[in-house]
Amino acid sequence: MPLVEAMSGPGGWQMRPRPGCGNIIRGLLTNELQGGLVPLELFVTELLMQPGQVDGWAAVLAIQAMPVELALGAPARKRIYPGKSHNAAAPSARLTVAVEAKRSLAKFQFRAWLSGFPAESGVKPMFRMLPLDLMLKGLEETAIDGMIAPTPWGMQAEALGVGKLDAGFAVGLHGQRVVLVCRREISTRCAEMFRKLPSRLARARARLQNDPAVFRAAVERMPMAGGPGLALFEKAAKRHPWPAESEDFIPHQDWLMAEMQNLAGIMRIPLSDPDIAKLAAGVVFAEPAGQAV
C-alpha cells in the first residue's frame, strides 16, 4: 500500500494488483508488465536465471519484508495440535502445503516453524506449487492441508471457511525481501523517478498513518477480481501496520551480492560467487547523471 500511494499522482507508475507472484513474473517475461514487485528469491530464480534474461533487468528498490500468513485446514490442525483427545500423528503423516513457487522462501519458513513442535509428532511437510486462487480451491476440496500466502489471502481462506489462520506462525529468519524490478531500459529512462522513490515512500507512509481519507483511498485500490475484497484488505492493513521509519532503499551491488549469497546457501541454488557477482552487477540500479523521467 505505501508503494501504491507513493506511485499515485504525477510522475508515478500505474500500479495494478495481480493475484500472486507467478502472475507478475509471467507478465514481466511476456512484456505485458513494465515492472513488478516480487520477492528477491523469485526475481533471481524465476527471472535472472532464465535463458536470455540476465542482462535485461534492474532492481530499483528494496522494501520491507512481505507479511505472509499460514492457513490450515481442520485435519491439518488436528495433526499439528493433536490435543488430549487425539492420538499423536503417525510417523508417516504428511502435510501438503501450497506455496507460490518452487524456490519460495515460504517452504523454509514452514519447515522452521514446524521444527518448533515435538519431534514425536511425526508431521512431515510436502509442498505443492499453486497460484493463490487455486490454493483456496485446494483447501476447499482438501487437496492440500494448508497454504502460505501474502496477506490477506490467508484471511480470505478463513473468511470462506476453508482454512483457519495460525496465529503462532512466524517467518523467523526467512522473511522475504521484496524488490521492485523493471527492464533495464526503463530504469535508465525513469532514473530520476526511481531515485526519488525512497523519499516518496516515506511521505506516503506518513500520509497513510495520519490521514484516514488517504488510507481509505489506498485500500480501495487493492482489491482484484476473484481475490480478497475491500474489507479484508483494510483488515490486513490494520493487522500488519508498516513501521513509521522507512525500510526502503535503492539496493547497491554489495547488498545484492550478500542477499544472493545467502539465498544460494539456504536454497542450494547452483550459483558460484563469480556468477553472483555478475548478476548483482547486472541488475544494480545505476542512475545516469541528469536523467529525468
**Cβ pair 228, 153 in contact under 8 A:** yes
- Phi, psi of 266, deg, nearest 5: -70, -45
What's the pTM?
0.86
Please, where in the chain does CATH 3.40.190.10 lie?
A: 2-66+176-283, 68-174
Counting beta carbons within 10 angstroms of the beta carbon of residue 241, is it exposed (0 to 12), middle (13 to 18) or buried (19 or more)? exposed
Counting beta carbons within 10 angstroms of the beta carbon of residue 93, is it exposed (0 to 12), middle (13 to 18) or buried (19 or more)? middle
Q: How confident is the model at residue 238 (pLDDT cuts 50, 70, 90)?
A: confident
Tell me which CATH homologous superfamily contains domain 2-66+176-283: Periplasmic binding protein-like II (3.40.190.10)
ω before 212 within 30° of 0 (cis)?
no
* Rounded Cα–Cα distance for residues 235 and 245 (Å): 22
Q: What is residue 11's predicted lDDT score, i.e. its pLDDT?
A: 67
pLDDT for 246 beyond 70 = no
Answer left, alpha or beta for residue 60, where phi above 0 means left and psi between -120 and 50 means alpha. alpha
Q: What fold, for 68-174?
A: D-Maltodextrin-Binding Protein; domain 2 (3.40.190)
Q: What is residue 291's predicted lDDT score, i.e. its pLDDT?
A: 36
166-186 pLDDT tens trace: 988 988 778 888 999 999 999
